[in-house]
Chain A
Amino acid sequence: MTSTAPARSFRRARPVPGAAARRGAVRRAWPQYAAVSPFYVLFAVFGLFPVAFSAWLAFHRWDGLSPVTYAGTEQFRFLADDATFRLAVVNTLVIWVMSTVPMLLMSLGLAALLSSVKRFRTFYEIVLFLPSVTSIVAIALFFKAIFNNQYGVLNAALTTVGLPAVQWLNGFWTIKIVIATLMTWQWVGYNAIIYYAGMQAIPNDVYEAARIDGAGAFRIFWSITVPMLRPVILFTVVVSTVTGLQSFTEPQVLFASNAATNPNSGGPGQAGLTMVLYFYQQAFTNNNFGYGAAVAYGVFAVVAVFSLVNWRLVARRDR
C-alpha cells in the first residue's frame, strides 16, 4: 500500500454534507461507475444470481426437463445420510493431507536450497515453475502412463531393482498416493518460489545477530526463517486448502474410461472419488440438479470449515 499523499486531494470528492450535494457527487462520478460496471453486471448475472438460485434449487427436485417439484429439506437429509458423499469427503481430506503437508515442507526445503546457491538460480526457478502452468489434463495423462498398473515406467523400474510391481491405479491407498503425487509435482515448485521470494524480504541483520549468538544453520532456519515467513506460509496454506479440497480434474481424467460403466466413477472402489467429482456426477451426469445444488453447498461447507480451521491454526501462533 502506498502512503496517502496530501497533494491528490482535489480529484477526491470532498466530504459533502446534505443529500443534494451527495447526489451531485454520485452524478459527477458516472465515469467511475461506468468503469467498474462490467464486472458487477457479469457478477450479478453469472455469480450472485446463480448462488441464490442454487440455494432455491437445493430445496427442489429437477432433472432439467420435467416440472420442478418442491422437496423441502429432503435433499439435505439425504446428503447427511449419503454414504457415497461421506466417502468422497474422506477421500478428499485424505488426498489433501497427503499432498499438502509433504508438499509445503518440501517447498520450504527447496526455497532454502535456492537461497543458498548463486549460479543457475533462474534456471531452477523456471523449471520449478513449469508444472504449474502446464495443463492439468495433460499432467493427469502423463501420470496415468507413468503409474500404469502393468506397463508403467515406475513398475518397470521397481521390477528392475527386484521389487514387486504395484497395482497403482487399483488400491484404496495407492490411488490416493498417485493423485497426491500428481498434485505435489504440479505445485511444489510454485510454492518453493513463493517461499524463496519471502525469504529474500527477511532483513540480513536478523541472521547476523543469530549467527553471533552461535546459532547453527538448521536452528536459524527453524527459529528465524520459518517464523518470519508466517504470512507467506499462511497464504500458501489457504490457497492449497481451497484448491486441494476442490480437486476434480485429476481423478476425472485418471479414471475417465470407467465413467461409462461406473456412474459414480473415481476409480476402483471409488477410491479417487472427490467431493467436486461427486458433485459433477450428480449434477451433470445424472442431471439431478436439485441434489447437485445440495451437494455443492455441502462441499462449500467443508471447504469453509477447513479454511477457517487452517487460518486459526497458522495465524494463532502470531499472538
Chain B
Amino acid sequence: MTTSTSRPAATARAKVARGQRVRSRERWAHVPLVLTVLLMVFPFYWTVVMATSTTKEFYSYPPTLTPGTHLVENVREVLASIDFFGSMLNTVVVAVSVTALVLFFDSLAAFAFAKFDFPGKRFLFGLLLFFFLLPAQLSAVPQFITMIHLGWLGSLKALIVPSAANAFGIFWMRQYITGAVPDELLDAATIDGCGFFRQYLSVCVPIIRPGLGFLGIYTFVGAWNDYVWPLIVLVDPDHITLQVALSQLNNAHSTDYAVVMAGSLLAIIPLLVVFLLFARQFIADAVAGAVRG
C-alpha cells in the first residue's frame, strides 16, 4: 500500500487506522473459514489414514490419527477382490465417449437454437425444458426393459447411448453461444457461401472453446460418478464401472475398512486431479450458470 505524500498527514493516519480495522475484521473472518476448510478436508484426510493402516490399528482405542505404512498391502487386497483396472477402464470408456458425444450433439443443437430461426423452434425448445424436469426414476423401469429388448443389458452401450445428448447441456450452451458468437461473423460467413455445418465448424467451435471446456468437465465428472443407472443395467458382475465396483468392494469387505478405504482413495484420485487442474475456471463457469439461470 502506498500513501501519497501530498495528502495531509492526518487523513493518511486515519486511512491507515481504517485499513487496520478492516484487516483485523478480515482476520476474524478467516477463523470460521479455516474451521470449515478443516471440516471439508477431514474426511479426505481420514480416508488416507485408514487406507494406509490396518483395520486392527483403528479398531484399537485410541485410534491412530496419522497415516500408516500398510497402503501397499491394502491396495493389493483391493486389486485381488475387484477388477479395479478393468472397471476403471470401463469408466474411462464411458466417461470419455459420453463427454465427446455430449459436446458435439449439445453444441450443434445449441448453435441452431441460439442463432437460427426455423419453424417449430419454440415448441422444440419448450419440450427440452419439460424433459429437464422429468425425474429419472419415472423412466427407469421401461428403460431397463428397452435395454433388454435391444440386447444392451450388461453392455456399456446402455450407459453411453441414452446419455449422448442432454437437455441441460443444450440449454447451457444456447445461453453461452447467444452471448459469445457475434452475428456479424456468421453473416459474413453466409455471404462467403458457408452453409450451416461449415459455420458451426469454422466460426462457432473456435469461439466457444472455453464453454466446451466447462461442459466437458461437468459431463465427465457426472459420468465418472454415476452410480444408480450403472447399478441397474450392468448386470454382469465382471463387467462394471468403478462406482459399482466400489460398492461391491464394500459388500465383500464390510468389516475390513482399511481395504474399502484404499479402494475409495484409488477411485477418487483421478477425478480430484482433473478437478484441481481446472478448478478456477470450472468454478467460475458453474457459478455463472446458476446465478444467471
Contacts and interface: CB of A to CB of B under 8 A. Distances in A.
Interface of A: 1-2, 5, 7-8, 10-13, 22, 25-26, 29, 31-33, 35-36, 38-40, 42-43, 45-51, 53-54, 57, 64, 109-110, 113-114, 116-120, 122, 124-131, 133-139, 141-146, 148, 150-151, 153, 156, 159-160, 185, 189, 193-194, 196-198, 201, 232, 235-236, 242, 246, 248-249, 252-253, 256-257, 276, 279-280, 283-284, 289, 292-293, 296-297, 299-300, 303
B26 interface: yes
Dominant SS among interface residues on chain A: helix
Given A54-B142, A113-B32, 16 more contacts: A2-B179, A29-B116, A31-B195, A32-B116, A38-B105, A39-B128, A40-B127, A49-B146, A50-B138, A117-B30, A119-B26, A135-B246, A145-B260, A153-B46, A156-B63, A189-B36
Contacts of A46: 139, 143, 146, 161-162
A12 to B, nearest CB: 4
A2 B174 CA distance: 12
A257 B254 contact: yes
Interface residues of B, number: 102
A194 B287 contact: yes
Contacts of A38: 105, 108-109, 164-165
B134 A256 contact: no
Contacts of B170: 39
A35 B225 contact: no
Max chain B Cβ within 10 angstroms of own Cβ: one of A11, A109, A279: A11
Contacts of A160: 62
A252 B250 CA distance: 11
B43 to A, nearest CB: 4
B264 A283 contact: no
Given A31-B197, A135-B243, A51 B139 contact: yes
B268 interface: yes
Given A11-B116, A142-B264, A50 B142 contact: yes
